[in-house]
Amino acid sequence: MKAIPLPRLAFRATSFILALLLAACGETVATSSASSGPPTASAQTASPASPAASRYDPAKMDLKPVPAKVTSERHSGPYAEGSALSTTAVLKPLDPSPVKTIRLDTTHKIIEIAPGVRFSAWTFGDQVPGPTVHVRVGDRIKFSMTNRSDEPVPGPKMTAAPMMHSIDFHAAMVSPEDKYRSIAPGQTIEFEFTPNYPGVYMYHCGTPMTLEHIASGMYGAVVVEPREGYPTKVDREYVIIQSEFYVKPAPGNAKVEGVPLYVLDGERLRNAQPTHTVFNGVHNGMMRNPLPVKPGERVRLYVLNVGPSKTSSFHVVGTIFDRVWFEGNPDNQFRGMQTVLLGSSNSAIVEFMIPEEGSYVMVDHHFANASQGAVGLLSTGAAGENATEHHNIAASPTPSAPDTAQAKLQFESKCLACHALVGGRGKKIGPDLAGVTKRRTDDWLRRWLKSPEDMLASDPDAKALLKEHNNLPMPNQNLSDKEIAGLIKYFHWVDSNPAAPATEGKAKS
């Protein structure tokens, strides 16, 4: 598939341009950030205050939770609530309070899992993946959930019929019959639990067919910190959740807002043949909006593979995992690893240094999975403000004419790695293309898109543009005349629709 050349291109191009920039200002990148002190030897062993043995002492664990309560009282207002929740890839700092009150309601909504692919999903907290819960061993979690699958939610309509749902927290030790029971639309379940073990745990809907509920989007992560905290200090913390989608066009080729609607493909699901394998709910998740990092920083990723049916071979191009804590527990430590193998519902905390300026590609090294969208970027060139945008829905307005809509998809898959389309605010390798029809004639654009190489050799304006872009030439895109005409038409549509430029992912989930 065509997803692979993109990261490579972006990677090479970014490294190249940054190498030039660095050479120009004579900087070195060897300095390490002050806050990322080297991990201490004591990381290997338990500190005297909490000997390893007592960490797992059953006497200190909560093994007698109180019964769950199911009522017909319905939550209204936000679908997710609680200071322990993070709704993006950025993990919010731990709330110090020992009691965490959390609400995650279930909804049915249309999400965008790839450019032009609207999927009829089921959610926790009205997003896919659901919000990440951040707690500590010994905290009291007071959880509640209303099944709101019968309510209309903001966004495009045409969602699935209301149905039973439930929640299963892998971080808990409780009776599944009691706490994980299914509730009907309009019902609310409440229960409490105390996480006994540190780790990065999956939560998901357990209502039969569980496979369908997970594949429809009902999952998320719980990060449980050790009671005494982690043994290392880091500069950045991100949550990466890998999952598969199995989709087919909706019956009768139904559309939402002019874009084809997709529904679950039961046959592909049972045969474990996904159509999309993604990070944080989106095809090429975080390619369009890389997560920011800086040279010399120590980065911690909380990586969870929710499956439902595939294994992930998680790797970051350009660095080595200094520490891997399998399942997110520092007692399960590996050093100096290139990849970490995660079965369905396995997780790991990985920590590594960012050696120098560049774009570091996160990838499932099972490359068939990566080609379905399981790639993302950590980049020293990323603008911070975009970083928190990664969850779907990033659905931007789509032109109604079919050829222009097609061109938008093409732009998103082929050009977005290097170009923004947001009116001067998009800092990428190439120029922001909003307004391009005002500064170039259609003929110039046609000749440029046909062969940037020829233009750079012959056209003075093209030569000037190349100079402005640190002599980094735009590669030939091998576009047909029809595709070129469509792209030019799309640029005209963007320039004549003030509300249109949302292609850099402004929409918040």
Residue 423 is a binding residue for ligand HEC (CB under 6 A): no
List, in sequence order, the alpha helices (H) in 305-459: 367-371, 384-387, 402-414, 436-439, 442-450, 452-458
- Count CB atoms within 10 A of the CB of residue 167: 26
Task: State yes or no: residue 9 binds ligand HEC (CB under 6 A).
Answer: yes
Cβ proximity to Cu ion, 218 vs 340, nearer residue:
218
Q: Take residue 390 and report the two structure tokens written for it.
A: 């990664």
Instruction: Work out how close the CB of 295 gets to ligand HEC at its nearest, in angstroms, rounded to a whole number.
Output: 22
Binding window for ligand HEC (CB under 6 A); candidates: 135-143, 303-311, 331-339, 441-449: 441-449
Residue 213 interaction partner, one of ligand HEC, Cu ion, none, beta carbon < 5-8 Å per kind: Cu ion
* Residue 422 near ligand HEC by CB under 6 A: no
Pairing label, strands 347-353, 321-326: antiparallel
Cβ 65 to Cu ion shortest distance, Å: 22
Closest contact distance (angstroms) between CB of 409 and ligand HEC is 11
SS (H, E, C) 69-94: EEECCCCCCCCEECCCEECCCECCCC
Tokens of 497: 């629709």
**Residues 342, 311: Cα–Cα separation, whole Å:** 6
Among 3, 7, 13, 378, binds ligand HEC (CB under 6 A): 13
Size of the site for ligand HEC (CB under 6 A): 28
Q: Of ligand HEC, Cu ion, none, which one does residue 448 interact with (CB within 5 to 8 Å by kind)?
A: ligand HEC
Q: Is 445 near ligand HEC (CB under 6 A)?
A: yes
Tokens of 398: 């789509």
- Nearest CB to ligand HEC, comparing residues 64 and 438: 438
Tell me, what DSSP letter sits at residue 308?
S
| The one segment of 169-177, 213-221, 311-319, 416-424 that binds ligand HEC by CB under 6 A | 416-424
Determine which residue in the list 84, 110, 348, 417 makes contact with ligand HEC, applying CB under 6 A.
417
Cβ atoms of 373 and 278 closer than 8 Å = yes
Please give the angle made by the CA atoms of 35, 39 and 43, to the nearest 5 degrees.
135
Q: Please provide residue 16's backbone torsions phi and psi, each rounded to the nearest 5 degrees.
A: -65, -50
Find tokens 């291109």 and name the residue.
Answer: 9
Do 348 and 342 meet the contact criterion of CB atoms below 8 Å apart?
A: yes
Among candidate residues 125, 59, 45, the one with its CA nearest the CA of residue 86: 125
Task: Give the CB-nearest residue to Cu ion.
Answer: 205
How far is residue 153's CA from residue 261's CA, in Å, rounded to a whole number?
Answer: 17
**CB of 347 within 8 A of CB of 251?**
no
d(C-alpha 503, C-alpha 422), whole Å: 7
Q: How far apart are CA 217 and CA 273, in angstroms?
A: 16
Does 207 bind Cu ion (CB under 5 A)? Our answer is yes
Is residue 440 part of the contact set for ligand HEC (CB under 6 A)?
yes
- Closest CB to ligand HEC among residues 328, 399: 399
Out of ligand HEC, Cu ion, none, which partner does residue 306 contact, by CB within 5 to 8 A per kind? Answer: none
Provide the token pair at 374.
């399981």
Does 431 interact with ligand HEC (rule: CB under 6 A)?
Answer: yes
43 Cβ contact partners less than 8 Å away, ≥ 6 residues apart:
231, 232, 323, 330
- Kindly tell me which residue out of 13, 68, 104, 205 binds Cu ion, with binding defined by CB under 5 A: 205
Radius of gyration of the chain (CA): 24
**Strand-pair category, 140-146 with 99-104:** parallel
Query: If contact means CB under 5 to 8 A according to the sort of partner, which of Cu ion, ligand HEC, none does residue 415 touch?
Result: ligand HEC
Contacts of 480 (CB under 8 A, 6+ apart): none
Pick the closer one to Cu ion by CB: 213 or 236. Answer: 213
Sign of CA dihedral 151, 157, 163, 167: negative
Q: CA–CA separation, 497 vs 210, rounded Å? A: 43
Query: Applying CB under 6 A, which part among 80-88, 336-344, 363-371, 414-422 lies near ligand HEC?
Result: 414-422
Q: What is the separation, in whole angstroms, between the first and last Cα of the chain?
A: 28
Contact pattern from residue 216 through residue 245 relative to Cu ion, giving x for each residue in contact according to CB under 5 A and a dash for the rest: --x---------------------------
Asked if 79 touches ligand HEC (CB under 6 A), the answer is no
165 binds, among ligand HEC, Cu ion, none (CB under 5 to 8 A by kind): Cu ion
415 near ligand HEC, judged by CB under 6 A? yes
Task: Say which residues have a Cβ less than 8 Å from residue 385's Cβ, sequence separation at least 6.
Answer: none
| Residue 430 within binding range of ligand HEC, rule CB under 6 A | yes
User: From the CB of 210, what's the least distance to Cu ion, in Å?
Assistant: 8
Place of tokens 């909006």: 289
- Does the protein bind ligand HEC through residue 306 (CB under 6 A)? no
Measured from the CB atom, the residue of 218 and 353 that comes closer to Cu ion is 218
Residue 414 makes contact with ligand HEC by CB under 6 A: yes
315 binds Cu ion (CB under 5 A): no
Show contacts with ligand HEC in window 384-403 (CB under 6 A).
Answer: none
Residue closer to ligand HEC by CB (options 346, 359) is 359
For the CB of residue 122, give the shortest distance to Cu ion in the complex, in Å.
6
Residue 419 touching ligand HEC (CB under 6 A): yes
Tell me the per-residue interface mask from 147 to 166 with Cu ion, x by CB under 5 A, - otherwise: ------------------x-
Q: Which of residues 468-497 bind ligand HEC (CB under 6 A)?
A: 469, 472-475, 477, 479, 487
- What tokens appear for 159 in the block? 């969602």
> Of 411, 111, 420, nearest to 278 (Cα)?
111
Residues found near ligand HEC in the complex (CB under 6 A): 9, 13, 414-415, 417-419, 429-431, 433, 436, 440, 445, 448-449, 452, 456, 465-466, 469, 472-475, 477, 479, 487
Residues found near Cu ion in the complex (CB under 5 A): 165, 205, 207, 213, 218
